[in-house]
Amino acid sequence: MRRGIAATALVASVALTATACGGSDSGGSADGPVTITYWDTSNATNEAPTYKALVKEFEAANEDIKVNFVNVPFDQAQNKFDTAAGASGAPDVLRAEVGWTPAFAKKGFFLPLDDTEALADQDEFQASLIEQAQFEGKTYGVPLVTDTLAFVYNKELFEKAGVEAPGTWDDLKKAAATIKDKTGVDGYWGSTAGYYAQPFLHGEGTDTVDVEGKKVTVASAEAKKAYETWAGLFDGKGLHKADTTADAYAHQQDAFVNGQVASIIQGPWEITNFYKGSAFKDKANLGIATVPAGSTGKAGAPTGGHNLSVYAGSDAAKQEAALKFVNFMTSAKSQETVALKNSTLPTREDAYTDKVKADPGIAGYQRVLSAAQPRPELPEYSSFWTPLDDELPQIASGKKSLDKGLSDAETAIAKLVPDFAK
């Protein structure tokens, strides 16, 4: 799963510092190429080779710049960069999860990119994604890939049951029961992870916090209604019971791709894995729809993805090279390449070429992006997943009541934002 704040503690090594950090030794001589270091945080097996190939293409077109490509595991990258930047030894360019931007910008680790070469094509990017890369009026990242959650379903099983993609959570409960009756498999398998409960909050017009009002709202009346709906989807005909094991994500995913459950809530990072399952050898069998709406009548899903950011501590020559590199990596041509190779979503409309949209998974997720909600401009926001990931499984399994679990989550979140009221 590509969500959450990295919990792995940094164990800095001499080797990583020497090879992966943008220190003065890697700047190149006065008449030689400038060397910049790029920390790539994509999946080392499925995605990184595409980015590495683009780096080679960039170097071929810019002989005065060399790029030291380092693939850093996603679950370690946030802590590693935080420590390296604090010691003035961070990489010159970081592929950063969108939730990291406010925190690193607040610390002064990221270079503002407004009016630089990196953002020369700013108007081509989706406005909400540029907004998500900003902090206190300045832009600190260029959107590289985006994602959101969608309702994904097995078209064949839905057609056998005579049901359609649900428009509301109540519709989903009814459809799940019908699918169970008609096909024998569960109609829906929900997640107990905090990120995957976000659509329920958006469907009630709320969130874990009200940033403008400076208030923790995870236990508000609206949030309780959202989580009641969420919890109600673990019990009933055709609804898979809550899986709170360490391998819950893999269990759910395997069941879906092999036709053992008809629908789940999932993001586009699993597109390539969907196609590897027996249920989706015919890619056209993959259904993708906007997440169901809540009682407000509106549907909403969280926005995720990654930006490219430039380290504020690099020297002028390396920053100039880094800005040119970021512009190249986020160009329409590069994003088209990444989408075709990795089945990820571009962040600019001109990258959704006919070739890209020929992938039904990408085309499907592009259609639901309008329901994606930008994250609040709050450095601590991404940290809220940790207490939710602790409390929601206990609520779903019946170990804690809804009121007790949300009260405990409220207390934990309030500690992260002590100037917010409860």
pLDDT for 9 equals 30
Alpha carbon distances (Å) from 272 to 343, 344, 345: 6, 9, 12
**Calpha distance 384→366 (Å, rounded):** 27
Average pLDDT of 164-188?
A: 98
pLDDT for 359 equals 93
Domains 14-147+303-373 and 148-302+378-416 share a fold: yes
> Residue 18 above 60 pLDDT?
no
**Calpha distance 16→167 (Å, rounded):** 49
In the chain, what are the domain boundaries? 14-147+303-373, 148-302+378-416
Write down the pTM of the prediction.
0.87
| Among the listed residues 365, 367, 335, the one whose alpha carbon sits nearest the alpha carbon of residue 353 | 335
Pinpoint the alpha helices (H) of 215-359.
221-231, 248-257, 271-276, 316-329, 332-342, 354-357
> Residue 171 above 80 pLDDT?
yes
**Calpha distance 392→208 (Å, rounded):** 13
Please indicate whether residue 198 or residue 6 has the higher confidence score (pLDDT): 198
The alpha carbon of 347 is separated from its chain's Cα centroid by a whole number of angstroms, namely: 13
- Per residue in 262-296, pLDDT (tens digit) is 999 999 999 999 999 999 999 999 999 999 999 99
> Residue 14 above 80 pLDDT?
no
b/e per residue 25-38 (b: at least 16 CB within 10 A): ebbbeeeebbbbbb
> Residue 5 above 90 pLDDT?
no
pLDDT band at 27 (very low <50, low <70, confident <90, very high): low
> Residue 29 above 70 pLDDT?
no
Please indicate whether residue 105 or residue 29 has the higher confidence score (pLDDT): 105
- Per residue in 44-70, pLDDT (tens digit) is 998 999 999 999 999 999 999 999 999
pLDDT band at 30 (very low <50, low <70, confident <90, very high): low
Which residues in 72-141 belong to E strands, given as ranges? 93-97, 134-135, 138-139
pLDDT band at 89 (very low <50, low <70, confident <90, very high): confident
| Among the listed residues 131, 72, 104, 145, the one whose alpha carbon sits nearest the alpha carbon of residue 310 | 104
What type of residue sits at position 15?
A
> Residue 319 above 70 pLDDT?
yes
Question: What's the topology of domain 148-302+378-416?
Answer: D-Maltodextrin-Binding Protein; domain 2 (3.40.190)
pLDDT for 28 equals 53
CA dihedral (37, 43, 45, 49) in degrees, to 10, reads: -40
341 CB neighbour count, 10 Å cutoff: 16
CATH for the stretch 14-147+303-373: 3.40.190.10
pLDDT for 4 equals 35
